[in-house]
């Protein structure tokens, strides 16, 4: 977190125009927004797919059902990362 505030402060001091300063702060935090949002879902999807693979290896006959449930779980887990991506787009370009 201190790295973030430090980076924002450095850019803020260099910029003279307030609009430029705002754009610079937005650009700096945009990367952090997506990077931080990707951590949780990354761990979550890894765990989820690992467990699904284990379940399919133990009971190959239920592979179809496990696969559908796995895709559902991925869709729910992934949503947070995607909201982070949307925040990135909003910060960077809007």
Partner 1 sequence: MLGSLLTGSTIFGLEFPPIGDIVKWPAAFGEDTPFAFNKIALISIIALIVPATLFLLAGRNAKLVPKGLQNVVETSIDFIEKQVVLPGIGVEGMRYLPMLISMFFFIWIGNLFEVIPTAHMPANARMANPLVLALTAWVMFIGVGVKHNGMKYFKDALFPPGVPKALYLLVTPIEFLSTFLIRPFSLAVRLFANMLAGHILLVTFSVLCITLWSASFLAGVLVLSFPMLVAFTGFEFMVAFLQAFIFSLLTAVYIGGALHPSH
Single out the segment in contact with partner 1 by CB under 8 A; choices: 2-10, 17-25, 40-48, 51-59: 17-25
Q: Is the sign of the CA dihedral 82, 4, 7, 24 positive or negative? A: positive
Min dist CB 51 to partner 1, Å, is: 18
Choices 1-9, 18-26, 40-48, 50-58 (CB under 8 A): range interacting with partner 1 = 18-26
Q: Which stretch binds partner 1 (CB under 8 A): 1-9, 44-52, 53-61, 75-83?
A: 75-83
Task: Enter the tokens of residue 59.
Answer: 């009971």
Q: How far apart are the C-alpha atoms of 71 and 86, rounded to whole Å?
A: 21
Comparing CA positions, the residue from 34, 30, 31 lying closest to residue 42 is 34
For 8-28, the DSSP string reads HHHHHHH--SHHHHHHHHHHH
Residues forming the site for partner 1 (CB under 8 A): 15, 17, 19-20, 23-24, 27, 64-65, 68-69, 71-72, 74-75, 78-79, 82-83, 85-86, 89, 92-93
């Amino acid at each position: 977190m201190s790295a973030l505030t430090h980076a924002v402060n450095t850019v803020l001091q260099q910029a003279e125009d307030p609009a430029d300063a705002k754009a610079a702060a937005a650009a700096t935090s945009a990367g952090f927004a997506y990077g931080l949002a990707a951590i949780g879902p990354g761990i979550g999807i890894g765990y989820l797919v690992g467990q699904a693979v284990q379940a399919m290896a133990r009971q190959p006959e239920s592979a179809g059902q496990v696969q559908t449930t796995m895709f559902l779980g991925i869709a729910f887990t992934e949503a947070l990362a995607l909201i982070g991506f949307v925040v990135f787009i909003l910060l960077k370009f809007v």
